Amino acid sequence: MTVFVLRALALLALASPPSTTRIADPEYTTIRMEIDVNKSATDVWSKVGGYCDLGKWIATGRTVPCIVTSGDGGMGSVRSINNGAVLEVLTAKTDLSYGYAQPPKAGQFYNLYHGFLEAKPLTATTSKLIYTLLVDESNLADKAAKDADVARRRAQFEAALRNMKTIAEAP
């Protein structure tokens, strides 16, 4: 194992340090979103699948700063999004997908946030982008708050998928 993978595993193993809040009975919610793209999965991934390519597609109409602050872009690498507002550790990677986790922050509820992005081949010239989120919503007050959180996340990442489709289908 590289030092970066070991560092990432150590971060995840410390998922609940004393200064981080967790709920005894987590309520994991999975949010799966997808969009068809009129390009091959390989072409799509070459345009939007880099670990910091999200800076191009996460927000509509603007570029969000993203840099790899630790690692070489492979497993265990850490990316800093929006000048350090968000840190994410690369936890899974294939030729056409990657997964990541946000490490806990001191003094905050740890929701075990994970994301997974995949370009799935459909035909030789078409593909599907699939974005899946996993989050613990047990800290939210009631069903209405949980539904609102899911709706907010879904709206943000469906917009990101539309941005990725536009980028990928551009000549």
* pLDDT tens per residue across span 109-139: 999 999 999 999 999 999 999 999 999 999 9
CATH of domain 3-12+29-169: 3.30.530.20
DSSP state at residue 21:
B
- What angle is formed at CA 68 by the lines to CA 49 and CA 154, rounded to 5 degrees? 50
pLDDT value at residue 13 = 45
| Helix runs in the chain, H state only | 3-13, 41-48, 54-57, 143-169
Give per-residue pLDDT as tens, 32-46: 999 999 999 999 999
- The structural domains of the chain, with segments of one domain joined by +, span 3-12+29-169
Tell me the pTM.
0.85
Q: Residue range 15-36: average pLDDT?
A: 79
